[in-house]
């Protein structure tokens, strides 16, 4: 148990510290790197909770794909962050208010879980036995069997969003020479090479 607790405090401390550093770091690339560290430590917390599939998913999706693209963009952009940072004190009260609201909401959530009338019933509702069904399988049952329509609807919304983004950002330009692979493959010696009789001193 001691090791478990130690690991929890280590991961939790790293999450909090790197989350603070995301906001405080002067260099935007450092911010993104701290964000990645925060994601990774959160995955560690998931493992401690016994949700190993979610932990791996967090690393694969957020750390391995989303954050890479994020880092990509931040590195490519040449924004003057010193100028951007000038108004930071003006925005501080708003930030604090948002933070406070979220804190209160989290507290209320916890309160509801402790005092709510239906909680006792929900906590005793049948859960698959962890020894028989791994949590990957349980998640699969929930997502792809029980809530399949909602899952499909979510997928459809994402598809529409993706098509929308492509339509908005894609513009047709004239005068672009594109590589047409089929033409290159279909090219034969007859199209490309031609025999000419060259007379001396005549040229072609």
Q: Give residues in contact with another protein (CB under 8 A).
A: 3, 27, 29-30, 33, 36, 52-53, 56-57, 59-60, 63-65, 68-69, 71-72, 75-76, 134, 136, 179, 181
C-beta closer to another protein: residue 64 or 164:
64
C-beta closer to another protein: residue 12 or 139:
139
Query: Do 45 and 14 contact (CB within 8 A), yes or no?
Result: no
C-beta closer to another protein: residue 15 or 36:
36
Between the alpha carbon of residue 86 and those of residues 32, 80, 82, 91, 143, the distances in Å are 20, 11, 7, 10, 46
C-beta closer to another protein: residue 69 or 89:
69
183 secondary structure, DSSP code: H
Q: How many CB atoms lie within 10 A of CB 154?
A: 12
The nearest distance, CB 84 to another protein, in angstroms, is: 20
The nearest distance, CB 57 to another protein, in angstroms, is: 7
The nearest distance, CB 93 to another protein, in angstroms, is: 33
Distance CA 38, CA 62 (A): 11
Report residue 178 as tokens: 């594109």
**Measuring CA to CA, which residue among 122, 124, 127 is closest to residue 142?**
127
The nearest distance, CB 5 to another protein, in angstroms, is: 13
The nearest distance, CB 66 to another protein, in angstroms, is: 10
Distance CA 19, CA 25 (A): 10
C-beta closer to another protein: residue 27 or 150:
27
């Amino acid at each position: 148990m001691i090791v478990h607790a130690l690991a929890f405090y280590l991961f939790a401390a790293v999450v909090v510290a790197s989350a603070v550093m995301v906001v405080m770091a002067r260099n935007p690339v450092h911010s993104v790197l701290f964000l990645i560290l925060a994601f990774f430590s959160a995955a560690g917390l998931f493992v401690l909770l016994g949700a190993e599939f979610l932990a791996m998913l967090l690393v694969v999706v957020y750390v391995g794909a989303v954050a890479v693209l994020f880092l990509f963009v931040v590195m490519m952009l040449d924004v003057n962050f010193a100028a951007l940072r000038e108004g930071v004190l003006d925005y501080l009260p708003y930030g604090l208010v948002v933070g406070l609201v979220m804190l209160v909401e989290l507290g209320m959530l916890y309160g509801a879980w402790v005092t709510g009338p239906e909680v006792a019933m929900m906590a005793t509702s049948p859960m698959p036995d962890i020894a028989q069904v791994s949590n990957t399988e349980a998640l699969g049952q929930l997502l792809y069997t029980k809530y399949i329509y909602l899952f499909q609807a979510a997928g459809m919304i994402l598809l529409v969003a993706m098509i929308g983004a492509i339509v908005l950002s894609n513009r047709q330009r004239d005068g672009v020479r594109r590589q047409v692979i089929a033409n290159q493959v279909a090219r034969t010696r007859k199209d490309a090479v031609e025999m000419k009789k060259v007379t001396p001193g005549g040229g072609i």
